[in-house]
Structure 1
Amino acid sequence: MTPAPEVPNGPGPVSSPVRIAAYVMAVALLIVGVLGFVPGATSGFGDLEFTGPDSGATLFGTFAVSGLLNLVHLIVGGAGLIMARFRRAARVYLFAGGLVYLAMFAFGVAIDHTAEENVLSVNEASNWLHLGIGVLMVLLGFLPAQRIRKSEPAD
Structure 2
Amino acid sequence: MTQSPNRLVATIFGAVYLLVGVLGLFVAGGNIVGEEGGLLLGIFQVNHLHNVAHLIIGGALLAAGLRSTPAAKATNTTVGAVYLLLGIVGFFLVGTALNILALNTADHILHLASAIVLLGTGLALDRGTTTRRAVA
TM range (shorter): 0.7 to 0.9
2:90 is matched with: 108
TM-score by length of 1: 0.74
Amino acid at match of 2:87: F
Separation in 1, partners of 2:21, 2:112: 17
2:44 is matched with: 63
Name the larger-Rg structure. Answer: 1
Q: Classify the secondary structure of the residue corresponding to 2:25.
A: coil
Amino acid at match of 2:32: F
Flag structure 1 segments of 5+ consecutive residues without an equivalent. 1-12, 147-155
Flag structure 2 segments of 5+ consecutive residues without an equivalent. 129-136
- Contact (CA 8 Å) 2:34, 2:97: kept in 1 or not? yes
Q: How many residues align?
A: 126
Separation in 2, partners of 1:107, 1:52: 16
Q: CA RMSD in A?
A: 1.7
Q: Classify the secondary structure of the residue corresponding to 2:96.
A: coil
Separation in 1, partners of 2:36, 2:126: 43
Q: Classify the secondary structure of the residue corresponding to 1:18.
A: helix
Amino acid at match of 1:106: I
* Aligned-pair CA distance for 1:145: 6.4
- Contact (CA 8 Å) 1:18, 1:145: kept in 2 or not? no
Map 1:1-155; keep pairs closer than 5 Å: 13-38=1-26, 42=27, 45-46=28-29, 48-55=30-37, 57-84=38-65, 85-111=67-93, 113-141=94-122, 142-144=124-126
Q: Give structure 1 regions of 4+ aligned residues with deviation exceeding 4 angstroms.
A: none
The structure carrying a bigger helix percent of its residues is 2
Amino acid at match of 1:25: F
Q: Percent identity?
A: 33
Separation in 2, partners of 1:125, 1:137: 18
Separation in 1, partners of 2:127, 2:4: 6
* Aligned-pair CA distance for 1:110: 1.8
